[in-house]
Structure 1
Amino acid sequence: MGNTIVLNSNRENIKPLSMTNTLTAVFLEVLVLSGSMAANTNREKEFIIWLAQRDQEVVGMGTVGFDIDELPWTIDNFTKEKEFLIEVLDKAIGGQVWSKLNYEPNKEMVRNISKK
C-alpha cells in the first residue's frame, strides 16, 4: 500500500505521483519543514498546516494521498499560492532543509519524485 498525489483525477494526460508509505513520509516531512521555514503570511502557513495534516503517523499508513485540487487554493491569490508551493517544493527536493532532520533521506529517491 502506498499513496498517490494527483492533479485533478479527471485529467488523463497528467500521470499521478505514486509513492511508498516510507517515501511519502519523507517527502511530506521535508515539504512541511521547508514550508514552515518559508511561510510568512497566514495563507502560506495554512498551506503548510494542510500538508502537515497528512502525517501518516497520525492519519494512518497509505491514507494520505490527495488531489492537488484539494489544497486550500483561493481564486484571488492562486498565482501567489502556486509560486509559494513551487518554491517550497524546490527547496524540499533540493535538500536545503535536510540538515534539520534527525536522519539522512535517500537523496536519489526524494529527488526522483519530481521526475516521475
Structure 2
Amino acid sequence: MGNIIQLSKSSPTSEWIDMSNQGTDCFLELLIMAANDLEKTNHQEKLISFLKDQKDINDIAPGTAGFKLDEMPWCDETLIDDASFLICVTKEAQSESVLSKLPYKVNTEIVFPWLKQFAVLIELMITASER
C-alpha cells in the first residue's frame, strides 16, 4: 500500500502523486531537510511541521501518510508567500547539498518528478485561491 498526495478531494487522478511507502519517506525527508536550510516564518514552520507529522505517520503506519494540500495549515493572509516558500523548498530538495545529507542514494529519476509535481500542485492551489 502506498500514499497519494493530491491538491484536493476532487483532484483528477492525473494530478496525483502516487508513491510507495519508502518513496514517501524519501520525498518527505528531502522536503524537511531542504526546509531546515531556509529561513521560515511561523506559518511556514507550521507547514513543515505538517510534513514532519506525515513522515512520522508513514513510519508508524505505512500507507496512511497521503494527504491533500488543501488540508495543510495554510494561512489566508500569507498564502502566496508560504506557497512560494514551499516551491523553493521543492527546488532546494533537489540540490546536491540536500541529497548528500541522506545516508542512502536517492533514485532521482523517481523522486524528482514527485517534487516537481508537488510544486505544480502548489501553483494550482494558488491559482484556485485567486478565483
Q: What TM-score does the superposition give when structure 2 sets the normalisation length? A: 0.79
2:54 aligns with 54
Unaligned runs of 5+ in 1: none
Are 1:37 and 2:37 matched, yes or no?
Answer: yes
SS across alignment from 2:25: helix
2:3, 2:64 within 8 Å by CA — same for their partners in 1?
Answer: yes
* 1:32-69, Cα deviation, whole Å (9 max, x unpaired): 111122143222211111100012113x1001000000
Task: List structure 1 runs of 4+ shifted beyond 4 angstroms.
Answer: none
1:111 aligns with 112
* 1:55-102, Cα deviation, whole Å (9 max, x unpaired): 2113x1001000000111011000001000100011113444111111
2:43, 2:74 within 8 Å by CA — same for their partners in 1?
Answer: no
Question: In the alignment, residue 38 of structure 2 is paired with which amino acid?
Answer: A
Q: 1:13 to 1:109 in 2, by over 3 A?
A: closer
Cα deviation for residue 112 of structure 1 reads 2.5
1:9 aligns with 9
SS across alignment from 1:38: coil
Structure 1 Cα separation of the partners of residues 8 and 31 of structure 2 = 21
2:32, 2:52 within 8 Å by CA — same for their partners in 1?
Answer: yes
Cα deviation for residue 13 of structure 1 reads 7.8
SS across alignment from 2:3: strand
Identity of aligned residues (%): 32
Structure 2 Cα separation of the partners of residues 53 and 96 of structure 1 = 24
Structural RMSD (CA) = 1.9
1:36, 1:45 within 8 Å by CA — same for their partners in 2?
Answer: no
Unaligned runs of 5+ in 2: 119-131
SS across alignment from 2:74: coil
Q: What TM-score does the superposition give when structure 1 sets the normalisation length? A: 0.88
- Larger helix proportion of the pair: 2
1:34, 1:91 within 8 Å by CA — same for their partners in 2?
Answer: yes
2:127 aligns with none
2:94, 2:112 within 8 Å by CA — same for their partners in 1?
Answer: yes
